[in-house]
């Protein structure tokens, strides 16, 4: 773990030095940030959904969640650390306080994580109007509202607020997966992929609004992560099998139309980010790739140190290539965990293992640092 941390520090120093806006001047580095503000869903949540009444007491608050790193359930949907944890650690910054766990300036000064497991990008009423049912009443606009509240708590004057913003790293974790998966699982609709695709411009639109909000408040450095390969999720593979031609990709065995949806999202997201960079040249806006590293491991698991069943959940039950069945959902009494989660990509059929998160974090940072070069993927 130690060499890895050092590598991340070096990578981030370089990212910061080469990645700034017009006046970056190579002076950014870990010491230039005091804190991280992060947003997203369960891939980034470090404790909010364990507190939110709608989700408190969920399976992720039970063992064996967190068994690899934190040793007792930490509110994270993994066996250990998330991508955001590796980024925070590599910058040697304090762990951001989950928004719902804090209320005072001293709790929020070290950074705040607004991400909530189950959060959607779009609000419930909009999803409802499309015939899509969501379950957790938190959307990206809630998280932006919370952020504005925190900013007021941290500093009263706009001038002080801008100073805080300038010394903060903004991490916009993946958001939208829940919207898409609720659409794909909506079996009353004949064209669920079309329904999910129709959400793309709306989801990219709310992400854009959140970014513009942060930039307006004075954010200078942002990492915006894209969509995961939705078609490689054990949950969706198990629940939505098909014998249609070309449904499964030959190399990865993931569901092709779902991965195409994720690629569409990522293309639209990157198009929007390019526009924002042009409009705000003093803000450094990095894209964090969650797609290619995961597809790479799933297609060639052994090459990257993973085991031979990359589409099977480590924790869960039911067997088969996906080992996913809600009756045996990880953290519920009938579930079991595999012997070595570091050889698995998926922890519980929906969320990644710490090993996969580490791989993604490392590649995200390296991609940021060599933005113009092909991504070298290694474990």
Ligand X SMILES: *[C@@H]1O[C@H](CO)[C@@H](O)[C@H](O)[C@H]1NC(C)=O
Interface residue list for ligand X (CB under 6 A): 123, 137-138, 141-142, 318, 325, 327
Catalytic, 284? Answer: no
> Could you tell me how many helices (H) and strands (E) the chain has, helices first?
12, 8
Active-site option among 38, 42, 335, 344: 42
CA angle (265 as vertex; 264, 271 as ends), nearest 5: 90
| Shortest Å distance, C-beta 137 to ligand X | 5
DSSP character at residue 37:
E
Nearer to ligand X, 137 or 307 (CB): 137
| Shortest Å distance, C-beta 238 to ligand X | 7
Nearer to ligand X, 70 or 139 (CB): 139
Active-site option among 45, 289, 342, 351: 351
Q: Do 29 and 19 touch, CB atoms closer than 8 A?
A: no
Q: Cα 253 vs. chain centroid, distance in angstroms?
A: 23
Catalytic, 106? Answer: no
| Shortest Å distance, C-beta 325 to ligand X | 4
Greatest CA span in the chain, whole angstroms? 61
Helix (H) or strand (E) holding 92: none
Q: Do 254 and 311 touch, CB atoms closer than 8 A?
A: yes
| Shortest Å distance, C-beta 338 to ligand X | 18
Catalytic, 157? Answer: no
Nearer to ligand X, 166 or 239 (CB): 239
Nearer to ligand X, 162 or 208 (CB): 208
| Shortest Å distance, C-beta 67 to ligand X | 24
Nearer to ligand X, 51 or 166 (CB): 51
Q: What is the DSSP string of 265-317?
A: HHHHHHHHHHHHHHH-TTSEEEEE-SHHHHHHHHHSGGGGT--S-TTSBSEE-
Q: Is the dihedral of CA 275, 277, 283, 286 positive or negative?
A: positive
* Of 112, 113, 116, residue with least CA distance to 134: 116
Q: Which residues are catalytic?
A: 42, 348, 351
């Amino acid at each position: 773990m130690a060499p890895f941390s050092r590598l991340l520090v070096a990578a981030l120093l370089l990212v910061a030095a080469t990645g700034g806006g017009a006046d970056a001047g190579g002076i950014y580095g870990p010491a230039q940030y005091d804190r991280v503000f992060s947003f997203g869903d369960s891939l980034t949540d470090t404790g909010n959904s364990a507190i939110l009444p709608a989700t408190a007491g969920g399976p992720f608050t039970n063992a064996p969640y967190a068994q690899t790193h934190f040793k007792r359930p930490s509110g994270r949907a993994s066996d250990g650390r998330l991508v955001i944890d590796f980024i925070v650690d590599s910058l040697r910054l304090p762990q951001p306080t989950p928004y719902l766990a804090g209320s005072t300036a001293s709790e929020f000064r070290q950074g705040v994580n607004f991400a909530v497991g189950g959060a959607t990008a779009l609000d419930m009423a909009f999803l409802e109007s499309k015939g899509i049912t969501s379950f957790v009443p938190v959307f990206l606009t809630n998280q932006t509202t919370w952020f504005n509240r925190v900013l007021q708590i941290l500093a009263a004057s706009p001038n002080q607020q801008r100073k805080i913003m300038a010394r903060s790293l903004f991490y916009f974790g993946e958001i939208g997966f829940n919207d898409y998966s609720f659409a794909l699982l909506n079996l009353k609709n004949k064209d669920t992929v079309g329904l999910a695709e129709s959400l793309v411009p709306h989801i990219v639109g709310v992400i854009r609004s959140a970014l513009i909000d942060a930039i307006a408040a004075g954010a200078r450095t942002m990492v915006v992560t894209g969509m995961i390969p939705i078609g490689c999720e054990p949950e969706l593979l198990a629940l939505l099998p098909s014998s249609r031609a070309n449904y499964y990709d030959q190399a990865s065995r993931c569901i092709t139309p779902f991965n195409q949806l994720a690629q569409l999202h990522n293309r639209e997201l990157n198009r929007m980010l390019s526009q924002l960079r042009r409009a705000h040249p003093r803000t450094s806006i990095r894209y964090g790739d969650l797609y290619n590293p995961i597809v790479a491991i799933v297609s060639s698991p052994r090459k990257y140190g993973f085991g031979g069943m990359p589409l099977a959940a480590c924790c869960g039950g039911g067997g088969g290539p996906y080992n996913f069945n809600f009756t045996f959902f990880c953290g519920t009494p009938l579930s079991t965990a595999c012997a070595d989660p570091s050889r698995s990509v998926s922890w519980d059929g929906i969320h990644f293992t710490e090993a996969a998160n580490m791989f993604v974090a490392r590649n995200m940072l390296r991609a940021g640092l060599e933005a113009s070069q092909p991504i070298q993927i290694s474990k």
